[in-house]
Structure 1
Amino acid sequence: MNLHITNETSKLKAVVLGTAESIGPIPTLEEAYDPKSKEHIKGGTYPKEEDMVREMEAVAAVLEKYNVKVYRPKIIKDYNQIFTRDIAFVIDDKFIISNILPDRDQEIEAIKHVIDQIDSSKIIRLPEEAHIEGGDVMPMGDYIFVGTYKGKDYKDFITARTNWQAVEALEKAFPDKEVVSFSLKKSNTVAKDNALHLDCCFQPVGKGKAILYKEGFLIEDEYNWLVEFFGKENVYEITRDEMYQMNSNIFSISEDVVISEKGFTRLNAWLREQGITVEEVPYAEISKQEGLLRCSTLPLIRD
């Protein structure tokens, strides 16, 4: 397999889509990794497996409609394998295996049939101290954008997934690219105050456009840098509630086609105004785990 990912929006050719099959029992509050999941566990509204399977199959159908090669993880009994973006990511022709929460280390084994098709010299494992998840990493041509948390209390936040050591490791692995990091707001207890990953408050879309949530950024100058990078007229600002519903976590099949949650009425109308075809799917149940469409896809090849 010849990997090729240089940005978020070029025409998609191959992707790993997660699976909700055999997801296991509802986790306890102690087992939950994020405040939104905890909220739904407490409220008795945690998503049912059959609903999440149906939502993911709707995405698979859209991908197949656009002739995208879709890989799925091998199913591990009673194990959450929805969010493939966390476990690895591709930059150029390199496959970088994430250093994620220890409880989730079996997830990478479930896509071994995909990894075995990749030249071993193209596979990168970052140093053990470099914590990173794919939701925090966005290739942007000559740039790599990375969400991070640099506070001394990093270890206190289960929601802090990418550290400063990972930013430095990417700089060493890709010396020809400019790695730009963005400090994100974290909360273990309030989902509306937590930017779990960079794609929870920012995503490029279409031709030079971007979805942004200002309050997801700890440092206003870093947010302003992004606005200037895209141009204020090209930025679509989402509200706190829209961030909570994961409006920035849609997924591009190309510059002209995106997959989006059917309930994102304001966003989907704006996307159509930009000339983008919006393939709407139900994904509100999966969003209860603080992840959406970008989180559950791992792109391998884009034109």
Structure 2
Amino acid sequence: MLELNIKNETSRLRAVVLGTAESNGPTPKVEDCYDPKSIEHVIAGTYPKEEDMIQEMEAVAAVFKKYGVKVYRPEVIKDCNQIFSRDIAFVIDNKMIRANILPNREEEVEAIDYIWNQVETNNRIILPEECHVEGGDVMPWNDYIFIGTYSGDDYPDYITARTNTDAVIAIQELFPEKTVKAFELRKSNTNAKDNALHLDCCFQPMGKDKAILHKNGFLVESEYEWLLNFFGKDNVFEITKDEMYNMNSNVFSISEDVIISEQNFTRLNTWLREQGFTVEEVPYAEIAKQEGLLRCSTMPLIRD
């Protein structure tokens, strides 16, 4: 059995699911894309190639190996994009919660059944059908669970709105001893620079008390201010619209001291090193074209 344990985003990582770019399938048609950034690259003819994405993911796997992290991979489904393992399920404490994701991504979930089946039965959680949630919107942070959501009446119009109020309530009921804090995110089906696909596209905690933030990703200024005050201005690295577009907030922590980041994030990586972090730089710019990066393609199972 798998003894799941995830209390926060930065404790020492021991086991993780890393997605796969193998048999990723042909470049999608515009109407089959789930986000504005992928559409941009399909139209421009710059959509990432499978072999480039495989190399990028292997670079991450090598970093995990260096730090002695046990890595699980999804079973490969022919011609299916399985890079973003964070979308399909997530762990809080000792529970694995299956994400209710876009219906045409159901088979991605089945590809990790062999992991799901190693979890004690009463710790496998399937939320009611009306609860929409993806792991990119859910961040356990010790006594808190931060959740990105969109509660506008036009929720159904946004393919980029992935987590609804029903899911926020359901997660609060699952973890009554924790404080669930929801944040309204800015959504756009057409403009990637105005679209916070998930909470981890505009916010991520690091170390013990630091965070990356992008103000424009939040619809309600007071919710952004709350995070700014929670971490403290001096501990927050504020990213620009272009940096958010390039997924600068979507790095991934192996521990409170070690962060995997994209090699082109010069400003961020410099700041992280100034704060005393070890930064493991990897190439991930091709995968970033699908509006996801390091946090999106990893699903932590066990942290110390």
TM over 0.5: yes
Q: Which of structure 1's runs of 4+ aligned residues deviate more than 2 A?
A: none
* Amino acid of the structure 2 residue aligned with 1:178: T
* Amino acid of the structure 1 residue aligned with 2:79: D
Which residues of 2 match residues 77-92 of structure 1 at below 5 A?
77-92=78-93
Distance in 2, Cα, partners of 1:107 & 1:173: 24
Which residues of 2 match residues 43-122 of structure 1 at below 5 A?
43-122=44-123
Which residues of 2 match residues 194-213 of structure 1 at below 5 A?
194-213=195-214
**Match of 1:273?**
274
* Amino acid of the structure 2 residue aligned with 1:5: I
Q: Percent of aligned pairs with the same residue?
A: 71
Gapped regions of structure 2 (runs ≥ 5): none
- Following superposition, the deviation at residue 37 of structure 1 comes to 0.1
- Following superposition, the deviation at residue 48 of structure 1 comes to 0.2
> How big is each residue's C-alpha offset from its partner over 1:57-104, in whole Å with a ceiling of 9 and x where there is no partner?
000000010000000000000000000000000000000000000010
**Match of 1:259?**
260
TM-score by length of structure 2 reads 0.99
Distance in 2, Cα, partners of 1:181 & 1:74: 33
**Match of 1:29?**
30
Distance in 2, Cα, partners of 1:266 & 1:33: 29
* Amino acid of the structure 1 residue aligned with 2:33: A
Distance in 1, Cα, partners of 2:82 & 2:39: 18
Distance in 1, Cα, partners of 2:113 & 2:220: 38
Name the SS for the 1:105 alignment partner: helix
**Match of 1:152?**
153
Gapped regions of structure 1 (runs ≥ 5): none
Distance in 2, Cα, partners of 1:267 & 1:138: 21
Aligned-residue Cα RMSD (Å) equals 0.4
Name the SS for the 2:30 alignment partner: coil
- Following superposition, the deviation at residue 160 of structure 1 comes to 0.2
Distance in 1, Cα, partners of 2:272 & 2:172: 33
- How many residues were matched structurally? 303
- Following superposition, the deviation at residue 115 of structure 1 comes to 1.2
Distance in 2, Cα, partners of 1:31 & 1:120: 35
Distance in 1, Cα, partners of 2:165 & 2:115: 29
- Following superposition, the deviation at residue 207 of structure 1 comes to 2.2
Distance in 2, Cα, partners of 1:114 & 1:167: 25
- Following superposition, the deviation at residue 238 of structure 1 comes to 0.2
Distance in 1, Cα, partners of 2:36 & 2:89: 23
Name the SS for the 1:242 alignment partner: helix
* Pair 1:223 & 2:198 matched: no
